[in-house]
Amino acid sequence: MAKILVTGGAGYIGSHTCLELLNAGHDVIVLDNLSNSSEESLYRVQELSSKKLDFVQGDIRHDQDLDKVFNQYQIDAVIHFAGLKAVGESQQIPLTYFDNNIAGSINLTKAMERAGIFKLVFSSSATVYDEANISPLNENMPTGMPSNNYGYTKLIVEQLLEKMSEADPRWSIALLRYFNPVGAHKSGHIGEDPQGIPNNLMPYVTQVAVGRREKLSIYGNDYNTVDGTGVRDYIHVVDLANAHLCALNNRLINNGCRAWNIGTGNGSSVLEVKNAFEKVNGVSIAFEFAPRRSGDVAISFADSTRAKEELNWTAKFGLEDMLKDSWNWQKQNPDGYQK
């Protein structure tokens, strides 16, 4: 069992990963500045696991916060979620994104180097793939220039980490390229709690269902897809959390820097998601068709063979589970962690 530092551990994917880590018997230390989360998620993680974790409120951009953690705990590996993720906002305040996501990641790896820790799992994104690639996307396909500054920070950090590990063979880095994380722990006690108007499809759908939003705007119905709406690879957040444990096991014994896609390999259109949500949950979702959203691609889904073969990871949950669990969380927590 290992002692794992989880940056951004109070957030959506981080909290689910902390729970899986605790359930697997690991010790967990969370470093989070709570800029997009609340400590309530961590109380709930501890309740669900009947285990304790350590929480340090701090910022990956601040050396003193990082050194304090690395001096206080004998960390074996770091899972790095901390960062900003709102695509639209990244176009308005790019420097804030570069600072949190790029400078923050550089700061973190410098602190790891000072502490002699070289095992890292990094939250990357399918957005790093060149838009010209045809799905299913595999890790040998070229990356491209992402259409927004958020995606750009993910690409840059991937490249920095690759170069760092080329220069110093002590590093062992997993780049996990997430497709579209949705769903929640089956208890409905932890889940996704976006601030303000959701950018992503699933929280928007659940907020319409719970009466917080009037109707869903479906961005584009003239794509070259099964029904004209955009196709994505939705992945249950618990499956995604478990991919981090698989990557950790791999990185504890191997060195170098390597990328893995984390998706189910299945594409679903926006209309398919909306219709399936209505059917499995017995609620109706008001919607309208709206113009395409700038920067969106028509189709994106994963080839996840590499994760299966090398990490022994596969997705266990299907779309119905994702939709049921998203709704179970939202229904029990109509205003998220605010209660």
CA distances from 90 to 147, 152, 153, 195 (A): 11, 10, 10, 15
232 binds, among ligand NAD, ligand WQD, none (CB under 5 to 8 A by kind): ligand WQD
The entry of ligand NAD, ligand WQD, none that residue 190 binds, CB within 5 to 8 Å by partner kind: none
Asked if residues 34 and 59 have their Cβ atoms less than 8 Å apart, the reply is: no
Closest residue to ligand NAD, judged by C-beta, is: 11
Q: Which residues bind ligand NAD (CB under 6 A)?
A: 7-8, 10-14, 32-37, 59-61, 81-85, 100, 104, 123, 125, 178, 181
Binder among 18, 218, 248, 259 for ligand WQD (CB under 6 A): 218
Q: Which of 85, 119, 189, 236 binds ligand WQD (CB under 6 A)?
A: 85
- Please identify, using beta-carbon distances, which residue of 134 and 253 lies nearer to ligand WQD: 134
Q: Which of 152, 160, 158, 159 is nearest to 175 (CA)?
A: 158
Closest contact distance (angstroms) between CB of 143 and ligand NAD is 14
Q: Does 37 bind ligand WQD (CB under 6 A)?
A: no
Residue 222 CB: number of other CB atoms within 10 A? Answer: 11
Out of ligand NAD, ligand WQD, none, what residue 296 binds, judged by CB under 5 to 8 A for its kind, is: ligand WQD
Which positions from 125 to 154 touch ligand WQD by CB under 6 A, shown as an x/- string? x-x-----------------------x---
**Which residue, 92 or 284, is less far from ligand NAD as judged by CB?**
92
Active site residue 152: no
Which residue lies nearer to ligand NAD by CB, 173 or 286? 173
Q: Which of 12, 150, 223, 234 is catalytic?
A: 150
Query: Is 87 a residue that touches ligand WQD (CB under 6 A)?
Result: yes
Chain contacts with ligand WQD (rule: CB under 6 A): 85, 87, 125, 127, 151, 180, 199-201, 204, 216-219, 230, 232, 270, 293, 296
Please identify every residue annotated as catalytic: 150
